[in-house]
A = this chain, B = another copy of it.
């Protein structure tokens, strides 16, 4: 790592754990008796405690949003290009919080944690949690950190759904929502892809109805297939075409079911990596949280009505080639906000990378986010 990089990294960082003893009421009707949230912070909370930004993660990410670990410098945060000193979300001005969600597999209480009531791993018995549950638990983390109100809550994809839910659940505790590559709910096709991924996991004989730990195994076959499906939906058709096209692995065909095309090699590699570290019960729960998210549902499907309580300012960003959550889905959010005469900045970035574009370094995209955070910084005087 050279000097230039050093000046723009938020690391080295260390995760911390907040323990919560007060039971959390979950959307499924049960109480989570006690729980831990693992989180990281970057930058400093100002004396007025007005400069905190919560960054929510999507499907397979974690609290490790930016920086690196001193003992593992290659392990760089998943949004490190966005967050750090001098970056669009500038940690010289803002105090940024990353948190691993409940039900996750990176340290926060989830299926791999011990259920205090039984002394055994939760496994299949860990409750199905929702976006709203995550936001409730994040509000408690804010209390724990002494943050009454976030200058912004920010996320992409499922992370953006959390930002959106913050504006409805805690309108008084969020000044701005940065909602990137989002949708107000999943389409039938989105749910269908999630369902296939879940079926791949559930039908893996090593899944054992979610209690694979007891059988000393893991449903890696199912996880591999699930990850492959996900991966296809994260990339645009065009991006796949330009990255891989019909390029062969060798110079001639083998006429078998091994790797013939580069795209196959790529998918298998991604699948193997993922199935090594990700927990199947977490995958099931996160995809379900996506399926269930539908803030308009309690308002008879009227998103404008659902967003009436929201008082935050909004930055909504979509990407032209995102076919998972297309720009049209962001338009629904923008329209509902305008119906309520809220402050909305909307941008559609002409990017070739599909849904994954929100994670990538695109100058126009990053300039836009930087400009929005400049405005927030001016508002709060940091």
Contact = CB atoms under 8 A, between A and B. Distances in A.
A136 B257 CA distance: 23
A200 B222 CA distance: 8
- The winner among A203, A241, A257, A297 for most chain B CB atoms within 10 A is A257
Interface in A225-262: 225, 228-229, 231-232, 235, 237, 240-241, 243-246, 253, 255-257, 260-261
Contacts of A309: none
Interface string A153-197: 000000000000000000000000000000001111101110110
A188 B128 contact: no
A268 B199 contact: yes
Contacts of A263: 188, 191-192, 195
Report the contact-size class of chain A (Cβ under 8 Å from the partner). Answer: 35 or more
Contacts of A203: 221, 224-225
Interface of A: 27-29, 127-128, 185-189, 191-193, 195-196, 198-200, 202-205, 221, 224-225, 228-229, 231-232, 235, 237, 240-241, 243-246, 253, 255-257, 260-261, 263-264, 267-268, 271, 284, 288, 291-292, 294, 297, 323
5 contacts: A127-B255, A189-B241, A192-B264, A199-B228, A200-B200
Contact of A284 (B193, B241, B257, B271): B257
A245 B204 CA distance: 28
A329 to B, nearest CB: 11
Given A193-B232, A196-B267, 12 more contacts: A186-B246, A188-B243, A188-B245, A188-B263, A189-B237, A192-B240, A192-B264, A196-B228, A196-B229, A196-B232, A198-B257, A246-B294
A257 B281 CA distance: 11
Which 6 pairs of residues, A with B, have the shortest CB-CB distance?
A: A28-B255, A188-B240, A203-B221, A128-B255, A188-B244, A196-B228
Contact of A128 (B192, B256, B267): B256
B267 A195 contact: yes
Contacts of A297: 246
Given A127-B255, A205-B205, A284-B257, A237 B28 contact: no
A257 B283 CA distance: 11
A261 B191 contact: yes
A274 to B, nearest CB: 13
B260 A187 contact: no
A279 to B, nearest CB: 15
Contacts of A244: 188
Contacts of A224: 199, 203
A157 to B, nearest CB: 17
Nearest to A221: B203
A268 B200 CA distance: 12
Contacts of A257: 128, 198, 202, 284, 288
B195 A228 contact: yes
A255 B289 CA distance: 9
A189 B284 contact: no
A52 to B, nearest CB: 31
A288 B253 CA distance: 11
Given A188-B243, A267-B192, A267-B195, A291 B260 contact: yes
